[in-house]
Structure 1
Amino acid sequence: MPDKDAGTPRVFLVRHGETEWSQNGRYTGKTDLPLTSKGVQQVLSTSKIVIGPQKLIDPASLAHVYISPRTRAQRTFDLLLGDAGKKELVDAGKVSTTEELAEWDYGAYEGLLTHQIRERRKEKGLDGKRAWDIWTDGCEDGESADEVSARLDTLIAKIHALQTPNMHGEAPSDVLLVAHGHLLRAFAKRWLTYPLSFPLSMMIEPGGVGILSYQHRNVEEPALLLGVGFPLEE
């Protein structure tokens, strides 16, 4: 990044570590599953490499941390920052748990695999010429794409309010989000002002990190600078 961009605020997207259901591809929304032992190690590995002074995510540069209320996300935050780092941010009033970052409410599709959802919808005559796509069709008895977009737009407005006055490094304004696979991909699309149906190729594996920032020439046009689609390892 050029020196003139070095102070540009960023949004770090951290996906929680592996759970039993993420391991086998089951849709996990409100079900409150713990991290697996592998999931714990994924987050610890990422933390060791990216968290700390002079590292990618410097706690001193964080203006705020937003976390999903689900246990798997809360545990990921604890592991990522460690006891001391967490306490410092909490004591400074920089940590918020918010339903705005809860995973997509999958409704009737909770715990199912994609092919099971499509088979169920086919039996009900819900899909015509194309297969079910969550980004367009949403979930029965759960959330639509428009409902997910609305709650994410509310959070994005809060982040813009934090970052816009500090586009040239006037004050530390990085933001950290700890949440879920579908939800973080949806956040990236809305940050870029795309509808959720837009085919954005961005995947963040369990324990992985993504990075978003504004374009330096026009603060009204947010841009995706980097997506790291895997948990960081030594």
Structure 2
Amino acid sequence: MAPDKDAGTPRVFLARHGQTEWTIDGRWTGSTADIPLTQFGESQISSSAGRLVGPGKLIEPEDLAAIFVSPMQRARKTYDMMFEPATREKLLGKVDFTADLVEWGYGDYEGLRTAEIKQLRGQRGLNAKDFDIFKHGCEGGESPEQVTERVDKLIIKIRELHAPNMHGENKACNVLLVAHGHILRAFTRRWLGYSIDFPLSAMLEPGGIGILSYQHHNIEEPAFLLGMALP
């Protein structure tokens, strides 16, 4: 079997936390509602981790140079469940529980469903029909510019880590992010060099794993892995 010529290119793994009660209800869960995973949400993480995380698997602990985790309990629990206790102990010095990955601050929209948000905006004379958080932000919460600022800070840190290792010079150069749906989609847009309101329709299911990397081993060509071969 021919070797994977891109295997040495640094990668960023995106891990979304598992299901919560508000996920089931379709309620927007931002930076103020710190609610736990459901039992099913925990099973989602166990299932994904069992298949994708561990020695010889997609997310190889020894290949991680840094792990950035939202400090919200649903993200912290997801991180804890992704790795065995002994592995977490070894990774401790690489983990940063950072506010840069807290979910988008929904402000007045916290706990509401999308239909309720549109109704509220209509009552306030704001664009309702075409509401898009990546364009309009949230009343009383964060604007797209504020979210852009914090994910860009994180991208700069990661690029500085990756730049000397574009050809696998240091095997341990991958990065893991454990966070939330909207903030990870915002991160993806900015990783690819698009404005945060770029119409990129992207999905990341609760408990899901996504992958970002680079084309041609080039730090100036960030990309997402649409598909990859597994040995």
Q: Which segments of structure 1 move beyond 6 Å, counting only runs of 4 or more?
A: none
CA-atom RMSD in angstroms: 1.5
Q: How far did residue 116 of structure 1 move?
A: 0.4
| Residue 68, structure 1, aligned to residue 70, structure 2 | yes
Structure 2 length as normaliser, TM-score? 0.94
Structure 1 letter corresponding to 2:108: A
Which SS does the other structure have where 1:207 is aligned?
A: coil
Paired residues for 1:78-227 under 5 Å: 78-90=80-92, 93-127=93-127, 130-171=129-170, 172-226=172-226
Flag structure 1 segments of 5+ consecutive residues without an equivalent.
Answer: 229-234
Task: Give the distance between the partners of 1:65 and 1:32, measured in 2 at CA.
Answer: 21
Does 2:56 align with 1:57?
no
What is the CA–CA distance in structure 2 between the aligned matches of 1:175 and 1:151, rounded to whole Å?
17
- 1:17-44 Cα deviation digits (max 9, x unpaired): 0000011210001210000000000000
Question: What is the alpha-carbon distance in structure 1 between the residues aligned to residue 190 and residue 143 of structure 2?
Answer: 14
- CA-CA distance at 1:170 after TM superposition: 0.7
Task: Give ranges in structure 2 of 5+ residues lacking alignment.
Answer: none
Map of 1:232 onto structure 2: none
Deviation at 1:217, TM superposition (A): 4.8
Deviation at 1:216, TM superposition (A): 1.9
Matched residues in 2 for 1:180 and 1:227: separation?
22
AA of the residue aligned to 2:81: L
CA apart distance, 1:131: 2.5
Residues 112-152 of structure 1: CA deviation (Å, up to 9, x unaligned): 00110110110111127x42211100000100011101100
Q: Secondary structure of the equivalent of 1:203?
A: coil
How far is 1:54 from its partner?
A: 1.2
- Please say if 1:19 is aligned against 2:23: no
- Contact 1:211/1:227 (CA < 8 Å) preserved in 2? no
Secondary structure of 1:4 counterpart: coil
The sequence identity of aligned pairs, in percent, is: 56
- Output the CA distance in 2 between the equivalents of 1:203 and 1:141: 26
Counterpart contact for 2:19–2:38, Cα < 8 Å: yes
Paired residues of 1:202 and 1:227 also in contact (CA < 8 A): no
Normalising by structure 1, report the TM-score.
0.93
Report how many residues are paired: 225
